[in-house]
Amino acid sequence: MPDATLLETFDSPTTEPFLIEHVNEEFTSVCPITGHPDFGRVTVRYEPDGACIELKSLKLYFQSFRNEGAFYEAVTNQIRDDLRDCMTPRWMEVVTEWKGRGGIHSRITATAGEEL
Amino acid sequence: MPDATLLETFDSPTTEPFLIEHVNEEFTSVCPITGHPDFGRVTVRYEPDGACIELKSLKLYFQSFRNEGAFYEAVTNQIRDDLRDCMTPRWMEVVTEWKGRGGIHSRITATAGEEL
Amino acid sequence: MPDATLLETFDSPTTEPFLIEHVNEEFTSVCPITGHPDFGRVTVRYEPDGACIELKSLKLYFQSFRNEGAFYEAVTNQIRDDLRDCMTPRWMEVVTEWKGRGGIHSRITATAGEEL
Amino acid sequence: MPDATLLETFDSPTTEPFLIEHVNEEFTSVCPITGHPDFGRVTVRYEPDGACIELKSLKLYFQSFRNEGAFYEAVTNQIRDDLRDCMTPRWMEVVTEWKGRGGIHSRITATAGEEL
Amino acid sequence: MPDATLLETFDSPTTEPFLIEHVNEEFTSVCPITGHPDFGRVTVRYEPDGACIELKSLKLYFQSFRNEGAFYEAVTNQIRDDLRDCMTPRWMEVVTEWKGRGGIHSRITATAGEEL
Amino acid sequence: MPDATLLETFDSPTTEPFLIEHVNEEFTSVCPITGHPDFGRVTVRYEPDGACIELKSLKLYFQSFRNEGAFYEAVTNQIRDDLRDCMTPRWMEVVTEWKGRGGIHSRITATAGEEL
Amino acid sequence: MPDATLLETFDSPTTEPFLIEHVNEEFTSVCPITGHPDFGRVTVRYEPDGACIELKSLKLYFQSFRNEGAFYEAVTNQIRDDLRDCMTPRWMEVVTEWKGRGGIHSRITATAGEEL
Amino acid sequence: MPDATLLETFDSPTTEPFLIEHVNEEFTSVCPITGHPDFGRVTVRYEPDGACIELKSLKLYFQSFRNEGAFYEAVTNQIRDDLRDCMTPRWMEVVTEWKGRGGIHSRITATAGEEL
Amino acid sequence: MPDATLLETFDSPTTEPFLIEHVNEEFTSVCPITGHPDFGRVTVRYEPDGACIELKSLKLYFQSFRNEGAFYEAVTNQIRDDLRDCMTPRWMEVVTEWKGRGGIHSRITATAGEEL
Amino acid sequence: MPDATLLETFDSPTTEPFLIEHVNEEFTSVCPITGHPDFGRVTVRYEPDGACIELKSLKLYFQSFRNEGAFYEAVTNQIRDDLRDCMTPRWMEVVTEWKGRGGIHSRITATAGEEL
């Protein structure tokens, strides 16, 4: 199940503001009602405030959702919360894009802080 | 015919503002004049104010237009009205994109509230 | 329901062999088990033997499947049979391509006669 | 030749502001100097103020340019004027995009009113 | 109306076999029943037998169909016949691809001689 | 783990030869060495000999690989074997296409019988 | 060499503001150091103030750079200057996009006046 | 003008048959009638018989057509002849693809020897 | 290793503000932990303040990272710093886009000064 | 430098013929004349005869070309030879596709054995 303790950070290489974006094309979790797998893309954009998320730890964190049952809206807000707690960025945006079910595909966006 | 009672909601997983988008690639209704089928894509974007639209109920609501005769402009405004009544979002946008007839394709956009 | 009597033909403008292809991007029928709509593309390729299918009659024939419940494999073979009976081409190929359900999309091909 | 009397309107289905876009992929007129045909796409975007343009009448209006000799810039402004006179929208934008001649392709944009 | 006397040829620059393809992206004629314009792409592929079609004359020949009412199948065979009469190639293929009407788009192929 | 007993068939709607293709865009299994997830597309093409694979059962069969550790080459041959045993088609082709790892992406193809 | 006297204008068909864009996909000049040819796309966008650039004269002006040796940055500013002198638009933007050399491709943008 | 003496070869690194393809995306010559520039792509595919064409010499050879007036068909056969004379390959194919003029784009193919 | 002394500038051809963008599609460095190569695209956009970066020197500077071990975030900030020191632009943006590792691809953006 | 001893194999999971394709999108070596880096894609397709190439060893083998100076034609034949020696497949094809230099991009194909 989702495990925020997997997340690790490293010190930002600069004190000047800059922007980081990581896109995971291979996110999967499970529908809590039907048990069928959901597939999607997760994009994390943030402006670091001293700490950057370590890339391999981010991958393992995403993999921890593999057999978790959760709705799109809840998964998106949980990732936003876990990353915000872990590195307290100046600004962050989490976007999840889910492949279609029954002809409908979805996209959820949650943010933290104000974009500069 | 279009049936707004099919729409169901669930409680938003957070009180923080966030954005939801559902895209139905397989919308079809019927031209009220010629009786020929129309095909299109319907996109619903909204910022929930406590209630989120349940995805399966949204699919069934869209399917209820299948044999309904209605103009593009009217369909778009009806979907906006039905969804606004159902979940009273902070902001909502409904976009319908219709495949071409006689070399002309169309796109209608109706909103509710002010985007943040 | 599917109505082969809608199909009409006209005389080929030449006795020399040639090839005709019509692609309907807006085919829809209904799943006979779940009642949910199916959407797809139907391609008809044929070499006429005196008779050509009239385009508007072909469109109306395809529309007659709109509320019919039928499996992919059966729809494809029925279209092949109806068109073969109607115009007895030298060769014909019917390809149906169905949008995804549960992450799986399908393509069925049925032929009549030998391609030259 | 271009015939604005072909244009017809119908009452908007709502008094709330919304946006309509029609794209004609198959516009053709004739170069007034060389007599060679020009081909292009015409996009009309507008916010109705009570009246909407009827789609079939718009198609016939566009077809009336078929054998008309006119420069790109003049055609674009004429379409803007004719549609503005016909339905007095809150805001309107007409974009013509012309296929290349001698390696150069062009795009002309004329507006009426202020976009909301 | 279509005018084969517009077609001109020039001597092939070589006696060795080679292949020529000209693609006209801007073909238009008129539906003989409804009077509505048809738009399409015409591709001519051939292996010359001494004579090559002159490109500007080919363009003018295609333009002579502009206000002609003709079915897809007849237009395709007429172009094949006119070009075959004009330059007697070793092999030739004429393909017309027509933009959609009522959701159906079409492609007609006529040949002359055997491809090497 | 992979479970071939999930596979079900139904009788072919015709005794004439025809071709069926199902494409699963959302296949996932696990690398047996690193434990990291693999993602890919699985395509099954076959010519039935009386029995067709039921689509929902095929989806559940593919899902049964979700937490299975297996090499690309072994997964592909196992799917070929399980489907061949289940419906004894006249001909079958199984293609797996795997997303990149370390900049290398792969595609494995296994067949059964001779294509007509 | 570049010849601004080739440029001609005609009177704008309207006194209302509108926007014109011409894109030349086939621009070529020569590197002043190596003598190798450079290839690129030139886009001119402007809002006319009474005078519009005549399209054929623009094509000939662009062709006059064919054997001219000039750096990307200088070519872009020269085109901006020549067109500004010729038609004194309310606003103008010249964008040159150059195909890659040694894996690097470039894009230069010069403007005149303030966009409305 | 075209200068075949620019072409240089080097010894093939193997006596086993293999296939080489070079694609020049930036070919330009001049129309011998109008003097307007022509732009296109030239593809050379060949199976060497001991000698391979040196890439930089090929680039300079193509550049020597820059201000040459020649028809599409003649350019293609000349390139085939010059390269055949220079390296006597087992098999060779030269394809020129020309950007559109007046809505028509062209593709010429000349070969030497039999493809294995 | 990265060598900022490779960077050279030339005088801007104008004192008016304009925008320059260079995109290197073939950047490569090495992961400092695993030693595996990283591949990506580097985009430099800037508004010169008298000095422009010379293109060949920029290419050699990028090549000097080839066997350097460095994190994405550090590489991006170093390029920004080196270019800022070298030509003191009015405004500059450096974007690095890195191909996927383990299904995650990344994009880092660092700026200098305020965009006009 | 290229090191064939890095290559490792494992036993094929079946004695039936099947096809394997690995595509490395991130191949780089160095031009032996100019010292500039070359970038390309390498595709290996083969039908195993008992032994399959191990994927991680293949990646390391490709990385060993990183600082090697070699011509396109020689690299392609060397990869073919090294892989043929290592696993003696029934059939193999090696395709290298190289990004453009001076507007020309290339593709080299070497095979071993006869394709079934």
Predicted confidence at residue I102, as pLDDT, reads 78
% of chain J surpassing 70 pLDDT:
99
Chains E and D touch (3+ CB pairs under 8 A): yes
Q: What is the mean pLDDT of the segment spanning J37-44?
A: 97
pLDDT at I116 over 80: no
- Find which of G101, G104, G105 to mutate to test the J interface (most J CBs within 10 Å of its CB): G101
Q: Is C35 on the interface with A (CB under 8 A)?
A: no
Nearest alpha carbon to residue H73 among H43, H47, H95: H95
List the pLDDT tens digit at each of the 116 positions of chain F.
Answer: 899 999 999 999 999 999 999 999 999 999 998 899 999 999 999 999 999 999 999 999 999 999 989 899 999 999 999 999 999 999 999 999 999 877 999 999 999 998 76
Q: Bigger pLDDT: A1 or J38? A: J38
Residue I56 has pLDDT above 70, yes or no: yes
Strands of chain E (E only): list them: 9-11, 18-30, 37-47, 51-53, 91-101, 104-112
Q: In a 10 Å sphere around its CB, with 0-12 CB exposed, 13-18 middle and 19+ buried, how is residue E76 labelled?
A: buried
Q: What is the mean pLDDT of chain I?
A: 95
Length of chain A: 116
Q: pLDDT tens digits, residue range C98-114?
A: 998 779 999 999 999 98
pLDDT at H115 over 80: no
Higher-pLDDT residue of C61 and D68 is C61
Minimum CA–CA partner of I26 in chain G: G103
The first and second tokens of residue D105, run together, are 């392709």
Judge F/A contact: 3 or more CB pairs < 8 A: yes
CA I58 to chain F, closest CA, distance in angstroms equals 26
> Are the C-beta atoms of I33 and J59 separated by less than 8 Å?
no
Provide DSSP, chain B.
---GGG--EEE-S-SS-EEEEEEEEEEEEE-TTT--EEEEEEEEEEE-SSEEE-HHHHHHHHHTTTT-B--HHHHHHHHHHHHHHHH--SEEEEEEEEEEETTEEEEEEEEES---
J74 reaches F (C-beta below 8 A)? no
- DSSP 8-state assignment for residue G90: S
Query: Phi/psi at D56 (nearest 5 deg)?
Result: -70, -35
Position A15 pLDDT exceeds 70: yes
Q: Which residues of D are catalytic?
A: 31, 38
Rounded to the nearest angstrom, the minimum Cα separation between J37 and chain H is 16
Confidence check: pLDDT of H92 > 90: yes
Question: How crowded is residue J116: how many other Cβ atoms within 10 Å of its Cβ?
Answer: 8
Q: Which chain G positions have a beta carbon within 8 Å of J102's beta carbon?
A: 36, 101
pLDDT value at residue D116: 62
Amino acid at D47: E
> F with J: how many residue pairs have Cβ under 8 Å apart?
54
Q: What pLDDT is recorded for position C54?
A: 96
Nearest CA in chain D to H36: D102
CB pairs under 8 A between G and J: 9
What span, in angstroms and rounded, lies between the C-alpha atoms of I112 and F66? 47
3-state SS assignment for residue H79: helix
Residue B86 pLDDT > 80, yes or no? yes
Find the CB nearest A20 among I73, I102, I103: I73
Asked if C55 has any chain E CB less than 8 Å from its own CB, the reply is: yes
- The answer to whether the Cβ–Cβ distance between G102 and J101 falls below 8 Å is yes
Q: Is G101 on the interface with J (CB under 8 A)?
A: yes
Residue B76 token pair: 């778009």
For residue D41, pLDDT over 90 is answered with yes
Out of I31, I49, I52, I81, the active site residue is: I31
Q: What is the pLDDT of residues C11-57, one digit of tens each?
A: 999 999 999 999 999 999 999 988 999 999 999 999 999 999 999 99
Residue D104: is its pLDDT beyond 70? yes
CA–CA distance, A27 with A98 (Å, rounded to integer)? 9
Architecture of domain D4-12+19-113: 2-Layer Sandwich (3.30)
What is the pLDDT confidence band of residue B101, given thresholds at 50, 70 and 90?
Answer: confident
The correct answer on CATH 3.40.50.620 for the domain covering B4-112 is: no
Dihedral of the CA atoms B80, B82, B88, B93 (nearest 10)? -20
Backbone angles phi, psi at H49, to 5 degrees: -120, 60
Cα separations in angstroms, E43 against C58, E25, E90, E94 = 25, 8, 17, 6
User: Strands B51-53, C9-11: parallel, antiparallel or unpaired by DSSP?
Assistant: unpaired
Q: pLDDT tens-digit profile of J4-30? A: 999 999 999 999 999 999 999 999 999
**pLDDT at B102 exceeding the cut of 90:** no
What percentage of chain I carries pLDDT values higher than 90?
A: 89
Are D and G neighbours with ≥3 CB pairs closer than 8 A? Answer: yes
pLDDT computed for residue E90 by the predictor: 96
Which residue ranges in chain G fall short of pLDDT 70?
A: 116
Among chain B residues, the shortest Cα distance to C36 is held by: B63
Q: Which residues of G touch I14 (CB under 8 A)?
A: 77, 110
Mean pLDDT of D96-110: 93
Mutate to test the interface with A, among I31, I38, I73, I85 (most CBs of A within 10 A): I73
**Distance to chain I for G88, nearest Cα, Å:** 17
Q: What is the pLDDT of residue H101?
A: 77
Asked if residue E67 has pLDDT above 80, the reply is yes
Backbone angles phi, psi at H28, to 5 degrees: -145, 140
Q: Could G39 and J103 be called an inter-chain contact, meaning their C-beta atoms sit closer than 8 Å?
A: yes
Calpha distance J70→I56 (Å, rounded): 23
Catalytic residue selected from F31, F49, F52, F81: F31
Question: How far E57 CA lies from chain D's nearest CA (Å)?
Answer: 13
User: Over chain A, what is the mean pLDDT?
Assistant: 95
| pLDDT value at C116 more than 80 | no
Domain-wise residue ranges, chain G: 4-113
Give the best residue of I10, I22, I43 to mutate against chain G (max G CB count within 10 A): I22
How confident is the model over D39-54, as a mean pLDDT?
97
Six-digit token pair at F101? 């790892």
Map chain J to HEC letters.
CCCHHHCCEEECCCCCCEEEEEEEEEEEEECCCCCCEEEEEEEEEEECCCEEECHHHHHHHHHCCCCCECCHHHHHHHHHHHHHHHHCCCEEEEEEEEEEECCEEEEEEEEECCCC
- The alpha carbon of G27 is separated from its chain's Cα centroid by a whole number of angstroms, namely 10
CATH of the domain spanning G4-113: 3.30.1130.10
The residue of C9, C18, C47 whose CB has the most chain E CBs within 10 angstroms, and thus the best one to mutate to test that interface, is C18
Decide if H100 and D100 are in contact by the 8 Å CB cutoff: yes
Neighbours of chain F (3+ CB pairs under 8 A): A, C, I, J
Judged on CB neighbours under 10 Å (0-12, 13-18, 19+), A5 is exposed
CB contacts, 8 Å: A105 with chain C: none
Residue D23 and residue D55 in contact, taking contact as beta carbons nearer than 8 Å: no
- The answer, yes or no, to whether residue I30 has pLDDT greater than 90, is yes
Architecture of the structural domain at I4-10+19-112 = 2-Layer Sandwich (3.30)
- Note whether D100 contacts G58, CB cutoff 8 Å: no
SS3 I60: helix
- Name which of J59, J116, J62, J69 is nearest J93 in CA terms: J116
Mark yes or no for CB contact E100/B100 under 8 Å. yes
Mean pLDDT calculated for residue range E60-68: 95
Please write the tens of the pLDDT for every residue from E2-52: 999 999 999 999 999 999 999 999 999 999 988 999 999 999 999 999 999
Q: Is H37 on the interface with G (CB under 8 A)?
A: yes
Interface of A with I in 14-33 (CB under 8 A): 14, 16-26
